[in-house]
Amino acid sequence: MRIEILYTEGCPNLRSAVARIKQVLREENISAELFETSVSQESAARELRFLGSPTIRVNGLDVEPEARASREYGIMCRTYVVNGRRVGVPSCEMVRHAVWEARSGSSTKAPHWS
């Protein structure tokens, strides 16, 4: 499994996002390769389909399914919708679902994790 973390330098949410990914992988006993990529130019943001910092993809798919169709690329902060609020890092459940989706090859609803 390949997990990409795209970010801008100085992103205040980068370390929290990486810690959350590692926590989920540990809890689920899953191995993955983590790739951190700094994005600093608008042209690179468009080429990489960068939705803001931090953007997290599992096997090429954004962890936030609703954001997968977005075309709002650029050098900016990213937020995720968690429990109806916008926050700077995806929830553990969002990351778990993306990992489950990648493992199963399905985009159907993930099983409930406690």
CATH number at residue 70: 3.40.30
Q: Could you tell me whether strands 33-38 and 2-7 are parallel, antiparallel, or unpaired per DSSP bridges?
A: parallel
Instruction: Judge whether 17 lies within some domain.
Output: yes
Question: Which residue range(s) make up the domain with 87?
Answer: 2-104
According to DSSP H, which parts of 57-105 are helical? 92-104
Query: What percent of the chain has pLDDT above 90?
Result: 90
Give the per-residue pLDDT at 114.
32
Instruction: Judge whether 73 lies within some domain.
Output: yes
Answer yes or no: are the C-beta atoms of 4 and 37 closer than 8 Å.
yes
Instruction: Judge whether 112 lies within some domain.
Output: no
As for how many domains the chain has, the answer is: 1
Instruction: Judge whether 113 lies within some domain.
Output: no
β-sheet bridge partners, residue 14: none
Give the per-residue pLDDT at 111.
43
Instruction: Judge whether 88 lies within some domain.
Output: yes
pLDDT in tens, the chain (114 residues): 999 999 999 999 999 999 999 999 999 999 999 999 999 999 999 999 999 999 999 999 999 999 999 999 999 999 999 999 999 999 999 999 999 999 988 654 444 333
Give the per-residue pLDDT at 77.
97
Give the per-residue pLDDT at 105.
81
Buried b (16+ CB within 10 A) or exposed e, 20-29: bbeebbeeee
For residue range 19-32, list pLDDT tens digits in order: 999 999 999 999 99
Instruction: Judge whether 39 lies within some domain.
Output: yes
